[in-house]
Amino acid sequence: MADNYNIYAPWTASAPVAGAVGASVSQAGATGEKLVVTDFSATGDLTTLCTIESPAGTILWRGRNPSSGAYVIHLEPGVLVAATNTAVVGRLAAATASSEVSIGGFKVKG
């Protein structure tokens, strides 16, 4: 769990997107650190797939926004931990209007 980590900094990343596309946001992991994901939120106008990936294309978590509007999850610290020096990507697969994805958590020494 998180109490076994050397926690040293929180992080957040968000990306609003206008238009008929999904959205994605990425947070890079610096040399010697791991990113722990504790929060994910997405806003869009469709029932669509949401993912947290690390590295990009490797799905660590998958969910479905059950309806248009906001979709928010909070994860227990330590459930989603990226490999050392690896970025984390939050994705909302589709939208027909404006959408936004936000991810956050904390950094630990890897």
Contact 42, 24 (CB under 8 A): no
- Fold adopted by 2-109: Jelly Rolls (2.60.120)
**Mean pLDDT per 10-residue run, the chain (110 residues)?**
66 83 87 93 82 91 79 88 92 80 90
Report how far residue 3's alpha carbon sits from residue 15's, in angstroms, rounded to the nearest whole number: 30
Residues present in the chain in total: 110
Report how far residue 72's alpha carbon sits from residue 66's, in angstroms, rounded to the nearest whole number: 11
pTM, two decimals, is 0.83
Backbone angles phi, psi at 4, to 5 degrees: -90, -5
Report how far residue 100's alpha carbon sits from residue 24's, in angstroms, rounded to the nearest whole number: 8
Domain locations along the chain: 2-109
